[in-house]
Amino acid sequence: MANFKENIKRINSSESISGRMPDYDAIVVGAGNAGSAAAITMASKGLNVLLVDRADPPGAKNLSGGVLWGNDLAEILPKWQTEAPLERFIDNKKIGFLTEKSSIVIDFKTEFFRDNKIAHSVLRAKFDPWMAKKAKEAGALVIPGITVESLAIEDRTVVGIKESGDTITANVVLLAEGVNPRLSIEAGLRKPLQDRELSVGVKEVIKLSAQKIEDRFNLTKESGMASEYIVGSLGNLNIGAFFYTNKESISLGIVSPMEELRRNGVTHTYDLIEKFKSHPSIAPLIEGGTTIEYGAHLIPEGGIDSVPQLYGNGYMLLGDAAGLAFSNGLVLQGMNYAIVSGIKAGEAVAEAKARNDFTAKSLAVYEQKLGSTYALKDLKTFKDIRKVTNNPKMYTVYPQLLEGILLETLWERGQPKKKTRDVIGEAASKLSVGKVKALTDLYGIYRRM
């Protein structure tokens, strides 16, 4: 990737090319959340759009933990809550720590979530083909089962895509190819992601009857629960876990920074998810269930620093391909970021078409538009969040500290009781965390989170 900078420069500095009649106004590579949102936005504005995905049905192999926040989706598909293949609306969110023997969880169940039903668990194998179908209904030509091989670049401008020796041309190519954006990297439009910018997610879908799910988690027919855990029971490893209810299955999994796994020589993430599943407070929740799906996927977690230049002559980067995902240990969101980037990119293409100018200068409006949404703002606000989520104490010492404090205060052992201050002090010294260090850490978390 030595000529990466030079490539970008070459691509960005060219003038608008005239005299060619491209096949499409826009080609979208990838029918994930980002690509379909872009295709829907553009096709509804009457643009001539081609959306290509390597899976058939489109997007069918994509993977998420599975809670979709639908604020942005509602903008392009107002009837999504009744039409989309959704699992359960989330009205119960839990966050907590797991230690070897305990779980410490905040259980937040609220009518606020119930009233607007904006968060839903989804299974991407159903949800993504639905979104692609919506793109087709809006007028886009959706072609499944084709892997785009490379980008066609002429005069420092992306002019189309190549496959089986054919070139299909467009004014703009929208790269929504996901977390491992091979085409963008090979064309020098962005750098390959480094270990420190990636996390690995491993997920299982476990079949369980609706009845069992509703009984076990105190849910109604439509409502659902989503929990996130910081796992402090797996030694020094920095592991987060999620546990979501679907209609007739549970989606659960673990997430860990790539660096962390490499540093600790972990090659079998499978063991980690097994350990999470067998935790004393998780195992009973999935008892009697059978694993029906298993998958692993990368997550871009480099934050704002790993977001590349989002546009150039004849192209834009969307969703995961642009590193647009957010995680702070309590939430992991990428689908909504993908959708909002798709909408903004689509709007930018429509405006560029009105100007008949698809140069970098004209497409810059994409970044302006995205910059005014939460998507880029969040990544800026939480610029240093990795310092918190990568702080090993978050996964080792603090969960145990909390456990120690709760044991002292909530466990009657026929001993004289202590003041909370002393409890904390003793628990901290037992784990040999300096009080000052703990306080600065807490302050750091407070400041960055």
Ligand X SMILES: Cc1cc2nc3c(=O)[nH]c(=O)nc-3n(C[C@H](O)[C@H](O)[C@H](O)COP(=O)(O)OP(=O)(O)OC[C@H]3O[C@@H](n4cnc5c(N)ncnc54)[C@H](O)[C@@H]3O)c2cc1C
DSSP conformational letter for 194: P
> Torsions phi, psi of 224, nearest 5?
-145, 170
State in angstroms the smallest separation of the CB of 206 from ligand X.
Answer: 15
359 binds ligand X (CB under 6 A): no
**For the window 154-183, what string marks contact with another protein as x by the rule CB under 8 A?**
-------x-xx-x-x---------------
3-state secondary structure 19-80: CCCCCEEEEEECCCHHHHHHHHHHHHCCCCEEEECCCCCCCCCCCCCCEEECHHHHHHCCCH
Euclidean distance between the first and the last CA atom of the chain, given in angstroms as a whole number? 34
Binder of ligand X out of 41, 44, 48, 62 (CB under 6 A): 62
Show the binding pattern over residues 16-35: x = contacts ligand X (CB under 6 A), - = does not.
Answer: -------------xxxxxxx
Residue list 84-143, contact with another protein (CB under 8 A): 141-143
Burial class for 1, CB neighbours closer than 10 Å (0-12, 13-18, 19+): exposed
Q: Does 146 bind another protein (CB under 8 A)?
A: yes
Find the shortest distance in angstroms from Cβ 180 to ligand X. Answer: 8
Q: How far is CA 11 from CA 172, 175, 367, in A?
A: 13, 15, 17
Closest CA to 336 of 76, 71, 42: 71
CB of 253 to ligand X, least distance (A): 5
Q: Does 148 bind ligand X (CB under 6 A)?
A: yes
Q: How far apart are CA 402 and CA 217, in angstroms?
A: 25
Per CB under 6 A, which of residues 190..209 are in contact with ligand X? 201, 203
The entry of ligand X, another protein, none that residue 333 binds, CB within 5 to 8 Å by partner kind: ligand X
**Euclidean distance between CA atoms 449 and 447, whole angstroms:** 6
Site string for ligand X, 97-136 (x = CB under 6 A): ----------------------------------------
Q: Residue 166 binds what, of ligand X, another protein, none (CB under 5 to 8 Å, by partner type)?
A: another protein
Nearer to another protein, 166 or 215 (CB): 166
* Residue numbers 335-374 binding another protein by CB under 8 A: none
What are the distances in angstroms from CA 177 to CA 77, 316, 412? 22, 11, 56
Told to check if 67 binds ligand X by CB under 6 A, we report: yes
Under the binding rule (CB under 6 A), the answer on residue 338 touching ligand X is yes
Dihedral sign from CA coordinates of 278, 280, 282, 286: positive
Cβ at position 153, least distance to ligand X in Å: 15
Question: Could you identify the residue written with the tokens 């039903």?
Answer: 117
Minimum separation from the CB atom of position 217 to another protein (A): 24
Using CB under 8 A as the criterion, which residues of the chain lie in contact with another protein when the complex forms?
A: 50, 52, 56-57, 60, 141-146, 148, 161, 163-164, 166, 168
